[in-house]
Amino acid sequence: MKRKQLGAGLTLIMTKRTFRLVHQQARQLAAECCMSAPDGHIVTIEEPKRSQEQNEKMHAMIADISNSCMFMGRKWDKEEWKRLLVDAFVRTMRENAKAEGKPDPFGGKGELIPALDGQGFVQLGVQTRRFGKRIASEFVEYLYAWGSANGAVWKESCQWGEE
The 10s digit of each residue's pLDDT in 82-91 is 999 999 999 9
Residues 84 and 24 reside in one and the same domain: no
pLDDT digits (tens, 9 = 90+) for 81-125: 999 999 999 999 999 999 999 999 988 787 888 989 999 888 787
- What is the distance between the alpha carbons of residues 146 and 53, in angstroms, rounded to a whole number? 20
pTM over 0.85: no
* Nearest by Cα to 135 from 99, 101, 111, 107: 107
Residues 103 and 27 reside in one and the same domain: no
pLDDT at 15 over 80: no
Task: Provide the domain limits for residue 27.
Answer: 2-36
pLDDT at 159 over 50: no
Q: What is the pLDDT of residue 38?
A: 84
Domain count along the chain: 2
